[in-house]
Chains A and B, each alone.
Chain A
């Protein structure tokens, strides 16, 4: 793999790694400079020259940020490695019928099935895209679909699978529209037992 000073394989990255998990299966080669962040246990890792990972947990749901994470994952994965694809259906959908009280049960059921179908269709499309790319690259593909708060889902998926690294996309800019369902990085950093990479928007 070729890596630049502040980028991995041409993809600019911001790498946040929890200090206590640095000694993991990630193989770091070359120079690594650390700068302290607040909270102090999070460091920025940059200027590394090579990083390869056998099993990656990738949070991908089709947004621009997730696409950056996807690119990064395919750059870092070892040949023959595996990608665990986490698809999160945000828990906010559970409350999306809000305080509707006028409709009868049939109308509410119809709406529920309609939304479920939409979300299922989206998830299937995203899963198919990643699975296809894994197949093309000779990688193992595992899909994990969960409903709930993104950070909790990711932590649960990490516990259920064997991965060496978690990769997520950068937080979406507030100027860009999209579902407001943010990854709680604090919760993630406290709960992860493997390093976390956050792809940079560039």
Chain B
């Protein structure tokens, strides 16, 4: 069978990306970009003004010294960086898609691996095009509108922020709209199916960004919370199903879906509990309905309750029935960082590790309660259901711990380095004098030593000193200039890790890509199947899980990582 469809779509997508890149490169889109990327553009204006002023001073100085006018390199603003990124991105992917688009049109594909892999490219290009539109155009547009409406006094709140109208949510929505209103074009169908591969790749790569302490703390927290809520909801569904006299097969498949990881658990457990077709449809419909609803509701509630990344990640990771929407909600809550996603994905991984255990439990339960049920092979179930990508995640974590990708201190995105503090960031004499005057207020020898070193070096030299002086800055009655000097010294000693920042940005793209593709697999026809007893049981268990995990998170989980 030949999978590649003869279509000019890939060529057109490639050409569109190339045009966008070219227009960015030659500045034709500067007006549009300045209205979209407002914050980056204001940085550009500041950098430009500073550069012009410095150039003027340097030129005047050179003229007075009788030297030729100096040449100064204009520093890159965030606006320049964004434009450069978009240009490079479009040239790389647009170029590749254009070439492959020509290959699709010109070649006569024969059945085989080349044909199969080539058939996936148009769909991937389709998702990437949507990702670019939502990330570069719709996301900043809604952000600006939200602020404009608030500034104009029409609303007292930022509607774009409260309703999470960011690139992740809009991308998933775009996917859902495309599949349900326009249908996935035939030429894109194979590529859209690769979305789950990209999500798994994202999780594997995410493994590189955890410290051992983070993994230990989040792992322990997730095992406790998932253990309690997964086992609790599986047990509750089994009880409710028996009370409501549901068939064992329906109760079994519903408990897996509502308890563990939604659709994935339903897919894994259905053959084991011999679920009937209607029961599978009801369960998946109910889970998708709840999952999509929660993906929009959770981030809004999280913002209203001022939750931090750990709290929200733990809540979403436990309370949302379907695992795909966990990642979606985490990115919707924190679209420009991945701290929440890191927490939520640990919970997702814990859930999927629970899956073989729950499937075995349900198999045993089904055999006990259903006459003629087939016994399952314990070893076969564990091997077949084990999520291999978790091994990839662990391997990435292990590799990154050896420092093979970046120094160990860099993985938080920022790293401490006193040696890299620039000359112009050293403390000013006024600040040094203010700090010297505060030396008598130090409470112990450690604080005195840390402050003396700061005065002597005009910069911080170690993380321990930074931690000690952070406590000093909070001493009551400390001079404001001295406290400000400590804050400035700390800020100067922490640097952005460029490698990790770029890695995080690419990860966010990977997850956005995967989630848009998964959005294209959420059909209204399957959601419409929600109904009957599964909807009643699902509503009770879904609500209890969401509200119960919220209470537990607010009471016991702190931003401690």
Instruction: Say yes or no for A91: interface residue by CB 8 A criterion.
Output: yes
Mask of B243-285 contacts with A, CB within 8 angstroms, 1/0 = 0000000000000000001011011101100001110111010
Interface pair A106/B531, CB less than 8 Å apart: no
Note all chain A residues with C-beta closer than 8 A to B531: 177, 180
Q: Judge whether A100 and B264 touch: CB under 8 Å.
A: yes
Contact of B522 among A99, A115, A122 (CB under 8 A): A99
CA of A92 to CA of B285 in the docked complex: distance in angstroms? 11
B384 touches A96 (CB 8 A): no
Which residue of B has the minimal Cβ distance to A108?
A: B267
Q: How far is the CB of B244 from chain A (nearest CB, A)?
A: 13
Q: Which residues of A contact B263 (CB under 8 A)?
A: 97-100
Kindly supply a per-residue 1/0 record for chain A positions 47-84, scoring 1 wherever the CB is within 8 Å of any chain B CB and 0 otherwise. Answer: 00000000000000000000000000000000000000
Q: Judge if A179 is at the interface, Cβ distance under 8 Å.
A: yes
Contact between chains at A92 and B525 (CB < 8 Å) = yes
For the complex formed, measure the closest distance between the CB of B99 and the CB atoms of chain A, giving whole angstroms.
Answer: 29
B135: chain A residues at CB < 8 Å are none
Q: Answer whether residue B388 sits at the interface, using C-beta atoms and an 8 A cutoff.
A: yes
Which among B261, B281, B514, B521 is the interface contact of A102 at CB below 8 angstroms?
B261
| Residue contact B195 to A107, C-beta cutoff 8 Å | no
Residues of A within 8 A of B407 (CB): none
CB of B308 to closest CB in A, whole Å? 26
Chain A's closest residue to B386 (CB) is A104
Q: Tell me, yes or no, whether A186 is within 8 Å of chain B by CB.
A: no
A residues 5-19 near B (Cβ < 8 Å) are none
Task: Give the docked Cα–Cα distance between A104 and B264 (Å).
Answer: 10
Q: Do most interface residues of chain B lie in helix, strand or loop, or is the interface mixed?
A: helix
Task: Pick the contact of A91: B288, B351, B525 (CB < 8 A).
Answer: B525
Interface residues of A in 87-130 (CB under 8 A from B): 90-93, 95-104, 106-108, 110-111, 114-115, 118-119, 122
Are A96 and B284 neighbours in the complex by a CB distance under 8 Å?
yes
Does any Cβ of B come within 8 Å of A181's Cβ? yes
Closest to B271 in A: A114
> Quick check: is B4 within 8 A (CB to CB) of the other chain?
no
A101 touches B518 (CB 8 A): yes
Number of interface residues, chain B, beta carbon within 8 A: 48
Chain A residues, CB < 8 A from B322:
98-99
How far is B554's CA from A32's CA once the two chains are assembled, in angstroms? 72
Q: Is the CB of A110 within 8 A of B278?
A: no
Which A residues are in CB contact (< 8 Å) with B518?
99, 101
B195: contacting residue among A101, A104, A118, A181, CB under 8 A = A101
Q: How far is the CA of A109 from the CA of B277 in the complex (A)?
A: 16
Q: Known contacts A95-B525, A119-B277: does B267 contact A101 (CB below 8 Å)?
A: no
Q: Which of B112-132 contact A (CB under 8 A)?
A: none
Question: How far in angstroms is the closest Cβ of chain A from B261?
Answer: 6
A30 interface residue per 8 A CB criterion: no
Are B277 and A98 in contact, CB atoms less than 8 angstroms apart?
A: no
Determine if A202 is an interface residue (Cβ-Cβ < 8 Å). no
Query: CA separation between A106 and B385, bound complex, in Å?
Result: 8
Q: Which residues of B contact A90 (CB under 8 A)?
A: 525
Please tell me if the beta carbons of B264 and A103 are within 8 angstroms of each other in the complex.
yes
Partner-A contacts on B (CB < 8 A)? 179, 195-196, 199-200, 261, 263-264, 266-268, 270-271, 276-278, 280-282, 284, 287-288, 291, 322-325, 348, 351-352, 355, 384-388, 514, 518-519, 521-523, 525-526, 528-529, 531-532
When A and B form their complex, which 10 residue pairs have the shortest distance between CB atoms, in order from nearest? A101-B196, A95-B523, A92-B525, A102-B264, A99-B518, A99-B324, A114-B271, A98-B263, A180-B528, A177-B532
Q: Could you jot down 5 A-B contacts, CB within 8 Å?
A: A98-B284, A100-B267, A101-B264, A115-B280, A179-B529
